[in-house]
Amino acid sequence: MKRRFMYMIGVVVLLSSTICQAQNVTAVGNKVPPYELNNLPKVDINKFPKNGDGAYVLFNGTSLTGWRGYNKEKVPAKWVIEDGTLKFSNKGPGLTKEDGGDIIFAYDFENFELEFEWKISHAGNSGVFFLAKEVEGQPIYVSSPEYQLLDNENHPDAKQGVNGNRKSGSLYDMIPAKPQNGKPAGEWNKAKIVVNNGKVIHYQNDKKVVEYTIRTPEWTTLLQASKFSQEKWPLAFELLNNVGGESKSGVIGFQDHGDDVWLKNITVKVL
């Protein structure tokens, strides 16, 4: 009788564990810490010009109107306009670590096509974020997918991760860009990210390289196999598993990873 009783307990525990996994319930020992979303100023997108394709011009090469630091009210000093590009420069007279940080366009987009051109310095690393929330005291990637920008030939991240899922154009640490057609450091690349009703497509140099759908069981599986898993980072898992939150929208941002990066022709078409 005792042996049968212990067997029944084991079955109940196993079934409970299976149900928790199926419903993405946070397991005991992996509790999500308290967090707060910042309510910093946003812009009226209708005040920005459109190009001939009907896309809003977020950066015209001469002005940073609409841009500010992530969780900040001003543009960090390390982000500058140089020869018509938006550049992150890690070096400069009088600059300190506090002058850096990620930069965002202060508007919540839901369904959209983001296009821009980018080039990276030798052994450089950066990224673009979307559907991000401004979480107090947390990095932008705690709530946002990342389209990787990288010097594939010289940055060590290119050899880490799984099957090249940290190379340029990839969904960082989750899905590798295929084909991998990123250009070398110092050369311009074209990037396009399409988000439409949860379906996301990455393009790199006019080729579709990644496709996935957020807020699905398949998306949860991807997260659980990454650095953002429930076990490794409960808060990131909680936020990324429901990207965009209740509004299903968020800001677009570019990363300060400590390396020089140049951006231009940044536009967004609202779908």
Q: Which residues contact 259 (CB under 8 A, 6 or more apart)?
A: 88, 90, 120, 121, 123, 124, 125, 126
pLDDT of the residue at 96: 82
For residue 110, with 0-12 CB atoms within 10 Å meaning exposed, 13-18 middle and 19 or more buried, which class applies? Answer: middle
Domain locations in the chain? 1-31, 35-270
What does the pLDDT profile of the chain (271 residues) look like in tens digits?
434 433 333 433 333 333 333 333 333 357 888 999 999 999 999 999 999 999 999 999 999 999 999 999 999 999 999 999 999 998 877 788 888 999 999 999 999 999 999 999 999 999 999 999 999 999 999 999 999 999 999 999 999 999 999 999 999 999 999 999 999 999 999 999 999 999 999 999 999 999 999 999 999 999 999 999 999 999 999 999 999 999 999 999 999 999 999 999 999 999 9
Q: 35-270: which CATH topology?
A: Jelly Rolls (2.60.120)
What is the Cα–Cα distance from 160 to 165, expressed in whole angstroms? 8
Q: Is the pTM of this model over 0.85?
A: yes
pLDDT of the residue at 183: 98
pLDDT of the residue at 21: 37
